[in-house]
């Protein structure tokens, strides 16, 4: 009798506990536990696909406002399916015993991205670097290199882009003497310059010492040429720079786009039709704003703006996120995932991730909110 009682109780219980859905999926905006059950700590991140594995690199944040500065370094996770991520530790460590080092603990190290150089066999990391105790004034790019995607990455150098080079689309006024009225300043918000950037000459001001570089991304084209894209000229204008063959520095060839549009959080991808798409944000610090998109038939432009690709509730705030990378899904044609951050500057370690599929409809981008989805979306 006791035996039957057990079955009578347990069968309905088991039926009740049956999971509603088989297999893993993405839950944008929710905590995303790694293989240790800890929320993934890779903010402002990007993905490298190498040898059948995805590697997710991002800013390791800590609790409290000190976490907005680099206290630890760049965290790396690995995955075979994009849903389940293994904690692989710190790929690039900040320097703890030399406060004058470019990547001294307490510097600002944001939006790290890693690409693989087929010719040298090296993994190359670039990131936005602000030197310790200088706020956002330094506006530099940092470079580190490793023989393994898991690191350790060794710091190579930090630099301002393209010192002594004009962009391919410089205007005549850029090469005229710089007006005294163009003062050095950082405003860090929408429209921080007193006038349209093309009535000033930030580019000329920075010609000798190198251009400013803040929010950034990397893109490797089908021919193996790599590009660094970043918010420049006091955030007002996007620059796209071709890297050197070893990906460790700039080639000197670059162009400027979207002057005075204050594009931040830039990311580029390319479809099988050979069209380049850009997704970025407005410039409002940690607060979310409306995303922007653009397309071009050549990375050197002309780039045509296509507006905010987000559709639906909170589209005007990019679903409370800011772009960090566009991930091409391996083995699926024209399958791209929008990756964004929900910043929580009061407790940065708590920031969640928003991954959503991108639809390409009539050569424009569309992103719709989903509470939950998986890669069968692309089938």
6 C-beta neighbours (distance < 10 Å), count: 9
Residue among 168 and 287 whose Cβ is closer to ligand GAL: 287
CA separation for the pair 16, 12 (Å, rounded) = 6
Q: Which residues bind ligand GAL (CB under 6 A)?
A: 44, 110-111, 215, 264-265, 283, 285-286, 322
Residue among 117 and 217 whose Cβ is closer to ligand GAL: 217
Smallest separation, CB 289 to ligand GAL (Å): 9
Smallest separation, CB 76 to ligand GAL (Å): 19
Smallest separation, CB 354 to ligand GAL (Å): 14
The pairing of beta strand 122-130 with beta strand 108-117: antiparallel
3-class SS of residue 118? coil
Smallest separation, CB 374 to ligand GAL (Å): 28
Residue among 129 and 265 whose Cβ is closer to ligand GAL: 265
Residue among 286 and 369 whose Cβ is closer to ligand GAL: 286
Residue among 92 and 265 whose Cβ is closer to ligand GAL: 265
Smallest separation, CB 287 to ligand GAL (Å): 8
Instruction: Compute CA distances 162 → 204, 351, 356, whole Å.
Output: 12, 34, 35
Residue among 67 and 204 whose Cβ is closer to ligand GAL: 67
3-class SS of residue 199? helix
Smallest separation, CB 166 to ligand GAL (Å): 27
CA separation for the pair 8, 5 (Å, rounded) = 5
Cβ-proximal residue to ligand GAL, closest one = 285
Q: Is 306 exposed, middle or buried (0-12, 13-18, 19+ CB in 10 A)?
A: middle
Q: What residues contact residue 290 under an 8 Å CB cut-off, 6+ apart? A: 281, 282, 308, 310, 315, 316, 317, 318
């Amino acid at each position: 009798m006791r035996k039957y009682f057990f079955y009578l109780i347990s069968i309905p219980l088991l039926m009740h506990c049956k999971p509603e859905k088989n297999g893993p999926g993405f839950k944008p905006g929710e905590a995303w536990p790694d293989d240790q059950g800890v929320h993934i700590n890779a903010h402002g991140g990007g993905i490298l696909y190498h040898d059948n594995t995805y590697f997710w690199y991002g800013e390791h944040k800590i609790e409290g406002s000190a976490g907005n500065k680099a206290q630890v370094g760049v965290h790396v996770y690995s995955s075979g399916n994009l849903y389940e991520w293994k904690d692989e530790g710190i790929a690039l460590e900040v320097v703890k015993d030399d406060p004058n080092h470019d990547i001294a603990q307490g510097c600002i190290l944001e939006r790290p991205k890693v690409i693989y150089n087929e010719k040298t066999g090296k993994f190359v990391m670039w990131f936005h670097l602000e030197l310790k105790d200088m706020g956002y004034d330094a506006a530099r790019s940092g470079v580190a290199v490793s023989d393994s995607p898991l690191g350790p990455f060794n710091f190579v150098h930090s630099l301002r882009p393209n010192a002594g080079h004009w962009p391919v689309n410089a205007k005549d006024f850029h090469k005229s003497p710089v007006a005294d009225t163009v003062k050095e300043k950082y405003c860090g918000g929408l429209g921080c310059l007193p006038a349209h950037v093309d009535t000033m000459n930030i580019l000329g001001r920075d010609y000798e010492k190198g251009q400013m570089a803040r929010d950034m991304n990397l893109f490797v084209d089908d021919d193996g040429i790599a590009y660094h894209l970043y918010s420049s000229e006091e955030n007002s204008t996007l620059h796209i720079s071709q890297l050197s063959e070893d990906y460790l520095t700039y080639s000197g060839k670059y162009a400027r786009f979207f002057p005075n549009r204050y594009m931040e959080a830039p990311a580029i991808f390319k479809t099988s039709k050979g069209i380049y798409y850009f997704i970025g944000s407005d410039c409002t610090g940690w607060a979310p704003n409306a995303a922007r998109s653009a397309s071009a038939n050549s990375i050197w432009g002309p780039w045509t703006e296509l507006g905010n690709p987000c559709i639906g509730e909170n589209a005007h705030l990019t679903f409370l996120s800011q772009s960090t990378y566009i991930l091409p899904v391996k083995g699926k044609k024209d399958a791209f995932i929008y990756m964004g951050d929900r910043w929580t500057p009061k407790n940065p370690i708590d920031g969640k991730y928003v991954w959503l599929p991108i639809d390409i409809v009539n050569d424009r981008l569309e992103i719709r909110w989903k509470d939950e989805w998986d890669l069968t979306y692309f089938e």
